[in-house]
Amino acid sequence: MAKAVFTGLAEVDAKLAKLPGKTQTSILRKAMRKTAKQIQGDAKKNAPKDEGELRRSLKVRAGKRSRRRVSVNVLTDPQSYKANRVHAFLIERGTRHMAAQPFLLPAMRRAERFAKAAFEQNMREVIASVANG
């Protein structure tokens, strides 16, 4: 699983700190989900053409919650992808009998370039929408 950690968002963090805890979590989750949706769209474009079921199975899901962490994942949905996550991993990484056809990792790598800016913009939009009612 790939992870992204954003730092240097002092202005956004200061605005967020003024809000109640549950509102902060809600805003973070919405902004992260919006950014994850962009990664999901890129991964769907990268997925092999003959793997339409794999493309359709790529979902954005909330990760485990804790007091200190909010996470969102882009993954294959086992109910909609009958071949299962192991098969998706083998397509991504390849085997000695099959060449790799990466789709998720390139999407994550491309996202590294835009994710911080996109996340910051998404945070601003969500904060503005909450502030405006």
Task: Quote the CA–CA distance of 41 and 34 in Å, as a whole number.
Answer: 11
Question: What local confidence, expressed as pLDDT, does residue 16 receive?
Answer: 75
Task: Quote the CA–CA distance of 8 and 13 in Å, as a whole number.
Answer: 9
22-62 pLDDT, tens per residue?
A: 787 787 788 788 888 888 899 889 888 876 788 888 888 87
Q: Where are the domains of the chain?
A: 26-131
Tokens of 117: 């800016």
Which residues have a Cβ under 8 Å from the Cβ of 120 and sit 6 or more positions away?
Answer: 6, 9, 12
Question: What local confidence, expressed as pLDDT, does residue 113 receive?
Answer: 72
| CB 12 within 8 Å of CB 124 | yes
| Whether the predicted pLDDT of 96 surpasses 90 | yes
Whole-model pTM over 0.85: no
| CB 127 within 8 Å of CB 15 | yes
